[in-house]
Chain A
């Protein structure tokens, strides 16, 4: 049994890796968007600007300097919080991004709150009653949910719940203030695919665990099925699904764009979408970096949690522990 190191050391190791990733992505983002300074000037000043206007702008904003210097200056500005002004929205970018990030986080959090209980409960139920009609029904529903792409499930749910049954609002612009009803459809669409997938994984995991020797032992010692499942099997069966839920977060963050655009929800996804369509370079950079930070930090969290759940494959496990895996 290896010694668990202090929290600080394990976090700093993970954070170090995360920073390296973010640095690499920032370089990629910068090179993609700002390699050619003249293009940037054209996009900021507009298509009707004259060449001498663009040259003057480039000189003023340091675009005549070498690429490395420009990149480092941009990075320093980014870390300091000077993200510039949006050419499309004509507002300060930091002030623009913050509320949108909060809105997207609400969607992502809502999706997780729906996915975790649903998929685990359904997965356990179908796994425990493997082969029965209930299992087949739940499995089929899970496969269907996973196979539908977001734009299809969004259209389907809207047709059903908005047009036919008139139960829910059609768009989620929150124009009259915050509204829970407007969150239902986006969260439902976002959760559907992931929930089906996690349910299937949970089912497989439970089946695997229920066939293991210690479960047989517990049964022979006289435990009821309920006690066996809840007290003994679950904590082992949940290792895989919980990890996968955390790994789904990047997937949710990228699919949130589709859902936000479909329902006109004012989140980071629609912001990035509008910025891309309107060639708003500073805003694209800011949104990309924010997304990267969000993804990388959740992955660090995932590694740490997984490490606690399963000490054998923790990042801080020593060789003696690993060899006993």
Chain B
């Protein structure tokens, strides 16, 4: 009989035994078990052995060496904590590392932190860091570096989204050079998973003192060093000696900015000028299918579009108007046409079936007649004129989705005018426009997104939604450990959001990318977090 062990050998958290009992009775599924066990500090390999799952192994022998060319936008990355785009994060991800790592199956693994253990009430978390890690300038990596980062994220002046994400942290206690404790003001079950967000790499403790501009002084603990960086042009990384872990397989990675036209990037792939493309949209699928030596990478993802209305602006302050729009929208049709059906329909509450805490609250049935009568009740019997602002930040499928909504609601007498801005001009106004379309990235837990986007007063609450009962239910969900119980709480969360008709959230789009056939070990990650040290070229 295999026993579960904590990574550091200490006694197991009390909930672990409870979960072990539930497992054979099928009250938790395997994935939920693995995820939750990982948060509690249990070693994943012992958990897999417990479940009698085969250990992971490479299908083919690995080839060391080579240079990979990755086509993606090269953006400004002076301060990783302020990063707003995942493309930039994938650059510094080669040099900077995180406390934990979440793989494409949403399971949390140790990274810079070797092990962690929560208190029984989940308010005190003790982390042990790996020993022997050195920065690229030779300094030792200690808990002082982590303290510097955590305090920086949560400080009052912090402009980073981390301030909201880690608002529960009330104190950082250093125990010794490789151990620290985080004290939380409310219980959070999924804390380790949140440390892999793209804004949370661990920077050297002298970052602020040396000008707070990472590319000028690219110190890191990771497997690569950055040898050249030019915004809008390229970023080049070479394998670094002295890395604490398994050395990377590739000698060099070149990230090349090939512009915003995705068809041109596919042309580059066809001509052998690039080996990996960062992202594709359904428009390029036919073109890609014609290339014999390229493969499509796809992965289910919780990335989505929200066509949200600000609940404190006329005419959206009247819930009847919002409900009319939501009832007239045809989410399934938007998915089929704008994204070729490659995704999962959404139910306007921003929680996806793939999320472990999902509670099945089904989508609304389209009802144009009721939409009309609601509008008439609200005083718009002759119809309503609205402007929808959008930026096509992820591709033209955003505009296509908006056009279908435009057609849907026209049947109910609502006339929407689309205000399409270039992506860079959309970001300054994304949370100011009363009716706008914003793309949201995948997060492994729905509550991470809900916390950032719909909690009263949250940093990225673009709809100004504020509901005390929703906040309470969300707090409870964040503190609940067991997936089944959390789902029950989530029913309240999802229903309140759906009933408030804050937005039309039509579908969760699959993540699409492409690579040359000789690129191995590269998988389309749902969050588009790409670790390149385990990728090799045949």
Residues of A within 8 A of B258 (CB): 171, 173, 264
Residues of A within 8 A of B263 (CB): 155
Contact of B427 among A47, A163, A266, A270 (CB under 8 A): A47
For the complex, give the distance between the alpha carbons of A168 and B261 in Å.
18
Q: How large is the interface on A (under 10, 10 to 19, 20 to 34, 35 or more residues)?
A: 20 to 34
Residues of B within 8 A of A169 (CB): 268, 271-273
Distance between B77 CB and nearest chain A CB, rounded to angstroms = 11
Contact of A264 among B259, B270, B272, B423 (CB under 8 A): B259
Instruction: Tell me the A225-275 residues at the B interface (CB within 8 Å).
Output: 261-264, 266, 270, 274
For the complex, give the distance between the alpha carbons of A171 and B173 in Å.
52
Residue A4, interface by CB 8 Å: no
Distance between B435 CB and nearest chain A CB, rounded to angstroms = 19
Contact of B232 among A89, A166, A279 (CB under 8 A): A89
Distance between B110 CB and nearest chain A CB, rounded to angstroms = 35
Residues of A within 8 A of B271 (CB): 162, 166, 168-171
Q: Contacts A158-B267, A166-B271, A171-B267 known; A277 to B425 CB distance under 8 Å?
A: yes
Contact of B256 among A89, A90, A173, A277 (CB under 8 A): A173
Instruction: Tell me the B246-294 residues at the A interface (CB within 8 Å).
Output: 254, 256-259, 261, 263-273, 287, 290-291
Residue B159, interface by CB 8 Å: yes
Q: Contacts A169-B268, A169-B271 known; A279 to B425 CB distance under 8 Å?
A: yes
For the complex, give the distance between the alpha carbons of A55 and B265 in Å.
43
Residues of A within 8 A of B369 (CB): none
Distance between B79 CB and nearest chain A CB, rounded to angstroms = 12
Instruction: Tell me the B35-74 residues at the A interface (CB within 8 Å).
Output: 69
The interface bits of chain A over 13-31 (1 if a CB of B lies within 8 angstroms of the residue's CB, else 0) are 0000000000000000000
Interface contact B428-A47, CB-CB below 8 Å:
yes
The count of residues in chain B whose C-beta lies closer than 8 Å to any C-beta of chain A is 35
For the complex, give the distance between the alpha carbons of A266 and B259 in Å.
9
Residues of A within 8 A of B232 (CB): 88-89, 274
Residue B424, interface by CB 8 Å: yes
Residue A12, interface by CB 8 Å: no
Interface contact B233-A262, CB-CB below 8 Å:
no
Contact of A277 among B159, B233, B424 (CB under 8 A): B424
Q: Contacts A47-B428, A170-B264, A279-B424 known; A175 to B270 CB distance under 8 Å?
A: no
Interface contact B256-A88, CB-CB below 8 Å:
no
Interface contact B261-A261, CB-CB below 8 Å:
yes
Residues of B within 8 A of A175 (CB): 69, 234, 254, 256, 273
Residues of B within 8 A of A217 (CB): none
Q: Contacts A261-B259, A277-B425 known; A90 to B270 CB distance under 8 Å?
A: no
Residue B517, interface by CB 8 Å: no
Instruction: Tell me the B287-313 residues at the A interface (CB within 8 Å).
Output: 287, 290-291
Residue B231, interface by CB 8 Å: yes
Residues of A within 8 A of B427 (CB): 47
Residues of A within 8 A of B78 (CB): 90
For the complex, give the distance between the alpha carbons of A261 and B258 in Å.
9
Residue B126, interface by CB 8 Å: no
Main secondary structure of the interface of B (DSSP, over half): mixed
Residues of B within 8 A of A166 (CB): 270-271
| Nearest-neighbor residue (CB-CB) of B260 within chain A | A261
For the complex, give the distance between the alpha carbons of A230 and B270 in Å.
46
Interface contact A270-B259, CB-CB below 8 Å:
yes
Residue B422, interface by CB 8 Å: yes
Main secondary structure of the interface of A (DSSP, over half): loop
Instruction: Tell me the B107-150 residues at the A interface (CB within 8 Å).
Output: none
For the complex, give the distance between the alpha carbons of A173 and B232 in Å.
11
Residue B475, interface by CB 8 Å: no
Residue B76, interface by CB 8 Å: yes
Residues of A within 8 A of B268 (CB): 169-171, 173, 264
Residue A48, interface by CB 8 Å: yes
| Nearest-neighbor residue (CB-CB) of A87 within chain B | B76
For the complex, give the distance between the alpha carbons of A127 and B69 in Å.
50
Residues of A within 8 A of B422 (CB): 277
Distance between A13 CB and nearest chain B CB, rounded to angstroms = 42
Q: Contacts A173-B258, A175-B256, A264-B259 known; A163 to B424 CB distance under 8 Å?
A: no
Residues of A within 8 A of B256 (CB): 173, 175
Instruction: Tell me the B207-262 residues at the A interface (CB within 8 Å).
Output: 230-234, 254, 256-259, 261
Residue A36, interface by CB 8 Å: no
Residue A278, interface by CB 8 Å: yes
Residues of B within 8 A of A263 (CB): 264
For the complex, give the distance between the alpha carbons of A171 and B427 in Å.
28
Q: Contacts A170-B266, A261-B259 known; A88 to B423 CB distance under 8 Å?
A: no
For the complex, give the distance between the alpha carbons of A264 and B424 in Å.
18
The interface bits of chain A over 150-194 (1 if a CB of B lies within 8 angstroms of the residue's CB, else 0) are 000001001000110010111101010000000000000000000
Distance between A188 CB and nearest chain B CB, rounded to angstroms = 15
Interface contact A171-B76, CB-CB below 8 Å:
no
Interface contact B231-A90, CB-CB below 8 Å:
yes
For the complex, give the distance between the alpha carbons of A278 and B389 in Å.
18
Residues of B within 8 A of A162 (CB): 267, 270-271
For the complex, give the distance between the alpha carbons of A170 and B71 in Å.
13
Q: Contacts A47-B427, A163-B290 known; A171 to B270 CB distance under 8 Å?
A: no
A–B Cβ pairs within 8 angstroms, 9 of them: A88-B76, A163-B290, A169-B271, A171-B265, A171-B267, A171-B273, A173-B258, A264-B261, A266-B233
- Rank and list the top 5 A-B pairs by shortest CB-CB distance, nearest first: A170-B267, A264-B259, A47-B428, A169-B271, A170-B271
